[in-house]
Amino acid sequence: MPIFSDTYNMKKISVIKKVGLVMCSVVIAAGVFSALKAVPAAAESASGLTYGCKAAYLMDADSGECVYKLNEHQRMPIASVCKVMTLTLCLDAVAAGRVSMDEKVSVSANAAGMGGSQIYLESGYSYPLSELVKSIVVCSANDSCVAVAERVSGSEEQFVADMNKKAAELGLSNTVFANCTGLPKETQYSCAADVAVMFSNLIRHSEYFSFSRVWQEDFAHGNGRVTSMTNTNKLIKRYNGCDGGKTGFTNEAGYCLATTAKRENLRLVSVVLGADTSDNRFKSAVSMFDYGFNNFKNKIILDKTVTLNDDFELNGGKKAAYSVMPEDDCYLFCRKGDESEVTFEVTDNKVKAPVSKGQVVGRIDVYREGVLYKSVNVVSAEDVKKASYADRLKAVADGWSL
């Protein structure tokens, strides 16, 4: 079977053995990748894509390639868009098993007393964490943010410290948090480029999309009282492919928006900061999305459901070799109509039997115009048990070694 989807007419992989490693080099036939070319190092920065905003950024969510930028490193308040990091820390804690979406979170008087946008939580009452997260995503509830922060880190102060630590880990050099809500406070700022990275990191949590697609829903308080929620991200209804986002507004920050949309294999992230009206933040995001989808695409060049052309050799197994495949899909972000050379090197870790299906056994390095573009693990596509003494005798009789 081919290493790629049958969209590509690839040359046969050649296997070269060197110093205990199997290196496979794949060179695309001339003209096959006529639609692929490295994206220019400088992203578009011409005027006309945004309306009445101070800063903006558009990027491919998978590769992080910048498509459009406007004052992308300018530090400014981002209002409730700061909740992108609040949600990130919560979903990180869920993924790590430190908290559960099903658990009940007790609401403190501090959390219940938050001003601004809120879901009107009852002090002393307990709510499912999943419902609190949903209210943050859908209607930007400040009281839910503080309740979640206190549960995840013990206090909002510690949670804010954790937010800044995460920002440093993500390389957000123009971002500082002072609270988990985005309410005005000194020494709190970010920039369009940092918000794009932050939001791209958040949407790697698949659970996020179970909340972000909600348009309208009632939040039940358990005592017969309900609060109606409507998604603040109007593009969920207005733009084809939009399935997530976070709005923000204060007089200081203006109208802000971080949002994402996906069409076919391409997922884009757009950020608008400091817009003069709510309509202009959404209009700017739509304009950037249209530009991105009209001019760029993601080509799948490694398919995690397709085995490689060549098996890996195996010592001590019931078989002399076993089939392998990429652990993840790999996409190449490129301009439509452009071309580039893409090559691959596959490294065999030379593992010994037994081998389990899904076990990491090597690596594929993807090169674009000779520059390393991405590395993807290679995993075994099957289980192979260790050879018994009888298996070894039979192998010798059949003329092959284990």
Please list the active-site residues: 80, 83, 140
3-state SS assignment for residue 369? coil
Strand order in the sheet with 342-348: 14-18, 21-27, 342-348, 360-368, 371-380, 324-326
CB atoms within 10 A of CB 340: 19
Measured in degrees and rounded to the nearest 5, phi and psi for residue 277 equal -140, 160
The candidate with the shortest Cα–Cα distance to 60, out of 273, 281, 367, 266, is 266
Whether 382 contacts 317, CB under 8 Å: no
Give the whole-angstrom CA distance, residue 168 versus residue 343: 33
Cis omega (within 30 of 0) on the bond before 354?
Answer: yes
| CA 259 – CA 76 distance, rounded (Å) | 18
* Helical pair 129-139 and 142-153, crossing angle rounded to 10 deg: 140
DSSP β-bridge partners for residue 248: 256
Non-local (6+) Cβ contacts of 162 within 8 A are 89, 152, 153
